[in-house]
Structure 1
Amino acid sequence: MDDLTTAHLQSAIDDGGTGNAEVVRTLEARLCALLDAPYALCVASGTTALICALHAVGVRRGDRVGVSALGPSMTGLAVAATGAQPVFIDCRPGTFGLSPDALSPAAAGPLKAVIPVPMWGYWDESPQLLADLRRRGTAVIVDAAQAPFLRTGPRSLAESADVICLSLHGRKPVKAGEGGACLTRAPELAERVLAMRNFGQRTRFTGTRLDPTGPYGGQPGANYKINALGAAWALAQTEDPDGLRARYASMRLRARAVLGRTGIAWREAPQGGDVIEHGGYGLVALCADAEAAARMADRLTDQKIEVDTVRYSYAPMHHSPCFAPRHTSTPAAEELTATAVACRLEAFPALGG
């Protein structure tokens, strides 16, 4: 353990190790800079971040929330945990982006919120579609658990969404063991997230940040705070954000080379024209058909490379047992998941040239 990490951990311990420790506030400031958002609130996990974000934008029991069918079951489970109903939205053919046709008012019906998911760091959402959703009163929450480095332009990702949710899980690029964060440009949403995280406490703006103040129970809330020791570990990783980005860019080059040596034809999953920087989590190869994808996965597994799409039996979210009874048709998502081979970038760095 390096001296910097030790210092942050000691600071967290000195403050009692709670989610109100100074290292948490410092980490929140770092995350604000990373995603160009004025407010960041650290919470206990990425799933908790989604639950807090859903509550902040007004989702309540019985509401309908559109969720990318290509997202992980954890995203839909966060919706279900609020008492809302997940509505699984198909993708555009061959991309992780949401289908405008599937999101039309006639097809999707009234939605309180929509959750795009940049799986493995790939973002291919239409800025106009997101703007239209928000104009119709449908909140946009981005589940960026696998995309902490994602940057878009000319408008930043934070300008295209009401809330961005991060995961700081130990398998993600910025790690707290368990942890997450909600980022937003709207102070009223930040206040609601903080109250939800801090037993319903009201907030006070102290010039550069929001602080919990007043009695508990001023509004609905629970203890969703991050543990300060995990936050200290994540904080040490963000001391050199450019170095962290460079490390993942290097892994990405290595991953592309390894996939190229499998001998299986593939193309990388597409990204939107407004993407400035890939989200950083993984690499997705789209093969010609399911048979080719299975051969590539086998060859990677033979090299001791963990293949995410094999490990999790990747399929549209509504295939998960807890959602399976619902009748849902997402043909484009079915086709993409059958031909996709995806790996975390961290599966590759130890391999030789």
Structure 2
Amino acid sequence: MSTAARAPRRDVPYREIDDAVRHRHADDEFYLRRALETGLTGTAPIVEQYERKISERYGLRHVLAVSSGSAAVAVALEGVDWEVGDEVIVPPSCPICTVLPLMARGLTPVFCDVRPDSFGLDPLALARVVSPRTRAIIEVPMWGYPTKADELQALARSLDIPLILDLAHCHVTRLHGKWLAEYGDIACFSTHEGKFMSTGEGGFVMTNDAARDARMRAYTRFGNLDGQRVGLNYKLGGLQAAVGLARLDAIDWHLEVRARNRQFLLERIDNPLVRELPLVEGGVINGYAMLMQVVRGDGRRFVEHLVAHGVPSDVKKYDNQPLYNYELLAPYRRECENARRLLRSLTTLPLHPQLSPEDLQHIVDTVNAYDG
């Protein structure tokens, strides 16, 4: 961020900044017509084409389109071995949407602290919580910022425990020149309307393991209706896959515009009380949002300052806090101080392509006007 001398503070007028992304692309109608002509079910050709196109983009062999990001986590669980009562390690800094599918299947979430100033699981904390009943580790990078997934992958392999990456926020996020998704045994994505890439509702699961893919795919199709395996209908419909095909084509444009918006903010924000959340070495964010961290004082005061001036915050919207603070998850409480401090220090700034130059300047002025 700018190191130039700070201008005198001044009052900032209110301006409503929209945090919603209006996903609308020129080829939507073309692919929707193709879906109407060829079939709308979850096994229609348009869905297979969508899955192939994702696979080609990421270079992972098996892609399974599903009905939501939460469904993606539920389906990923079918790619690992477990019994009711077994444990899955998760960070308390993730959305509750990641943990509810575990509980619905009778698995026990075990909260593990994160590294300081990161959403990545802390290896030392993980060593303390892993047990003979641990059946999977789930890491959840947030708002497009990569974690040290390479180190976690090595640790998970040394423990012979599958690593699931919940990348709902991390489409085309990179680490050391590779897609973040490549570091997991299974990677889950959301394509909800508010995400980096949208099919309205939806998600997908990726793996390079053919056996895991077969198990997950069967689960989304009622256990292949063979009467031997339990399964549900988690397939993505043809209409959603059709718009997904169009919007895959727009990913590079999103990356470019969001990177440009982030650079605009970085060059002009010069408030010493805040900083961008540090990037891990070798990491490249996707611009889903910009994470700003208060370096002195209470981050929730910063959040309230932004919102009072019309700058939206996901932290305010979802009241992000350690998940064990919620009544439903209180029985699994395990104090995670790094996660608590991290969530208390952060807010998001929008970077989406619909922001005008005036919107971006208002964000700069509002951040620079914060005085703690």
TM-score tier after normalising by the smaller chain length: 0.7 to 0.9
> What's the secondary structure of 1:342's corresponding residue?
strand
> What's the secondary structure of 2:293's corresponding residue?
strand
1:267 aligns with 2:267: no
Q: Deviations over 1:5-61 (max 9, x none)?
A: 112111222233211122212221222233331111000100111011012112332
> What's the secondary structure of 1:249's corresponding residue?
helix
- Determine the C-alpha separation between the residues in 1 that align with 2:296 and 2:180: 33
Q: Deviations over 1:284-341 (max 9, x none)?
A: 11102453x2343233223422201111111112222310233311011111111111
Tell me, yes or no, if the aligned pair for 1:254 and 1:349 is still in contact at 8 Å. Answer: no
- Determine the C-alpha separation between the residues in 2 that align with 1:309 and 1:285: 11
Q: Deviations over 1:86-145 (max 9, x none)?
A: 1111011122111111110x4432311011111111122252332221232211000000
Q: Which sections of structure 1, spanning at least 5 residues, go unmatched?
A: 202-214
Give the match for residue 115 of structure 2: 92
> What's the secondary structure of 2:81's corresponding residue?
coil
Give the match for residue 316 of structure 2: 310
- Determine the C-alpha separation between the residues in 1 that align with 2:103 and 2:351: 30
1:280 aligns with 2:287: yes
Give the match for residue 193 of structure 1: 216
Give the match for residue 209 of structure 1: none
Match for residue 122 of structure 1 among 145, 151, 176: 145
CA RMSD of aligned residues (A): 2.2
Give the match for residue 188 of structure 2: 165
**Cα separation, partners in 2 of 1:307 and 1:94, compared to 1, 3 Å:** same
Give the match for residue 297 of structure 1: 303
- Determine the C-alpha separation between the residues in 2 that align with 1:257 and 1:301: 22
Give the match for residue 198 of structure 2: 175
**Cα separation, partners in 2 of 1:10 and 1:218, compared to 1, 3 Å:** farther
- Determine the C-alpha separation between the residues in 2 that align with 1:176 and 1:239: 13
1:344 Cα shift? 4.2
1:326 aligns with 2:339: no
Match for residue 31 of structure 1 among 51, 54, 74: 54
Q: Deviations over 1:167-206 (max 9, x none)?
A: 00000011011101000111111111111111222xxxxx
Bigger RCO (CA 8 Å, 6+ sep) = 2
Match for residue 141 of structure 1 among 129, 143, 164: 164
**Cα separation, partners in 2 of 1:26 and 1:126, compared to 1, 3 Å:** closer
Between the aligned residues of both structures, percent identity stands at 29
Tell me, yes or no, if the aligned pair for 1:148 and 1:280 is still in contact at 8 Å. Answer: no
1:155 Cα shift? 5.3
Q: What code does the residue aligned with 2:47 have?
A: V
Tell me, yes or no, if the aligned pair for 2:25 and 2:246 is still in contact at 8 Å. Answer: no
Q: What code does the residue aligned with 2:253 have?
A: G
| Greater alpha carbon shift after TM alignment, 188-197 vs 218-227 | 218-227
- Determine the C-alpha separation between the residues in 1 that align with 2:25 and 2:91: 40
Structure ID, larger Rg: 2
1:348 Cα shift? 7.0
- Determine the C-alpha separation between the residues in 2 that align with 1:347 and 1:264: 27
TM-score w.r.t. the length of structure 2 is 0.83
1:109 aligns with 2:142: no
**Cα separation, partners in 2 of 1:182 and 1:150, compared to 1, 3 Å:** same
**Cα separation, partners in 2 of 1:257 and 1:47, compared to 1, 3 Å:** farther
- Determine the C-alpha separation between the residues in 2 that align with 1:240 and 1:107: 41
Q: Which sections of structure 2, spanning at least 5 residues, go unmatched?
A: 1-23, 362-372
**Cα separation, partners in 2 of 1:311 and 1:57, compared to 1, 3 Å:** same
Tell me, yes or no, if the aligned pair for 2:110 and 2:332 is still in contact at 8 Å. Answer: no
1:51 aligns with 2:77: no
Give the match for residue 338 of structure 1: 344
> What's the secondary structure of 2:330's corresponding residue?
coil
Give the match for residue 5 of structure 2: none
| Greater alpha carbon shift after TM alignment, 188-197 vs 32-41 | 32-41
